């Protein structure tokens, strides 16, 4: 069973600070996705990365896929209270099409 | 477009009772998923449908859980009998195809007392 470990598990920061969330596995993924989930709602897709070394930017969020396609990171610049939520990475391997979610990182941004 | 609709939003039952959850996916989405999510953790796949066929149910506890997707549209997930450890959020998601992005519903929060 593939396992996606996220770190840190919990992060509490003040508005304006920068942060990085990591997603690591021993498995190689054909693609990796990042989701954000707010309380009482389902996860919402932020980005999909498919190429080793790929970097994608979404406003203040920067996503990077590792060269070996085993890990990924999410960097948030100048965090805002609206960034608060549970961040989930999810990887898909080859032709299995099964999407496996990571353990999650709960982010809290305070004023 | 209308999103994935799940009902009920909340359900409280006593252990050993049956419970059922309903999901209406986005129109035209052939792939439907049921996930279980414990508090603060990532979702875990229970079952995936391609149209009306269950193509991955390896993580579904078949002694007490069952699911169906008649006509390849709506789906129901049933637990009978429920156990205390089944308390969690049950998420339904749909996608155009097996490798397309997932769209999640808001889930059903189950509490077993």
DSSP, residue by residue, chain A: ----EEE-SEEEEETT--EEEEEE-SS--SEEEEEEE-TTS--EEEEEE-STT-EEEETTEEEEE-TTSSEEEEEESS--GGG-EEEEEEEE-TTT--EEE---EEEEEE-
For residue range A39-50, what is the model confidence (pLDDT) as tens digits? 999 999 999 999
pLDDT band at B107 (very low <50, low <70, confident <90, very high): very high
Beta strands at B44-50 and A61-65: parallel, antiparallel or unpaired: unpaired
For residue range B49-66, what is the model confidence (pLDDT) as tens digits? 999 999 999 899 999 999
CA pseudo-torsion sign B29, B31, B32, B35: negative
pLDDT greater than 90 at residue B1: no
Sites in chain A below the pLDDT cut of 50: none
Structure tokens belonging to residue B4: 């994935």
The whole-number pLDDT of residue B98 equals 80
Share of chain B above pLDDT 90, in %: 88
B7 in reach of chain A (CB within 8 A) = no
Closest CB to B40: pick one of A99, A101, A106.
A106
Binding-face residues of B in 41-70 toward A, CB within 8 A: 41-45, 48, 56
C-alpha A11/C-alpha B66 separation (Å) is 37
């Amino acid at each position: 069973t593939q396992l996606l470990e996220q770190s840190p598990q919990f992060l509490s920061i003040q508005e304006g600070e920068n942060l990085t969330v990591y997603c690591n596995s021993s498995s190689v993924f054909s693609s990796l996705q990042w989701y954000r989930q707010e309380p009482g709602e389902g996860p919402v897709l932020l980005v999909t990365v498919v190429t080793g070394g790929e970097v994608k930017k979404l406003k203040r969020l920067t996503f990077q896929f590792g060269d070996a396609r085993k890990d990924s990171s999410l960097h948030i610049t100048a965090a805002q209270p609206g960034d608060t939520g549970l961040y989930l990475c999810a990887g898909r391997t080859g032709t299995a099409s099964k999407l496996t979610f990571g353990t999650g990182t709960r982010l809290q941004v305070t004023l | 477009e209308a999103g994935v609709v799940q009902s009920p939003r909340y359900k409280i039952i006593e252990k050993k009772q049956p419970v059922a959850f309903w999901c209406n996916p986005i129109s035209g989405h052939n792939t439907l998923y049921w996930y279980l999510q414990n508090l603060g953790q990532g979702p875990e796949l229970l079952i995936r449908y391609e149209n009306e066929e269950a193509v991955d149910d390896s993580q579904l506890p078949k002694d007490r859980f069952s699911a169906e997707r008649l006509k390849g549209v709506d789906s129901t997930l049933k637990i009978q009998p429920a156990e205390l450890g089944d308390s969690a959020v049950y998420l339904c998601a749909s996608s155009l195809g097996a490798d397309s992005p997932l769209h999640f519903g808001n889930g059903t929060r189950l509490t077993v007392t």
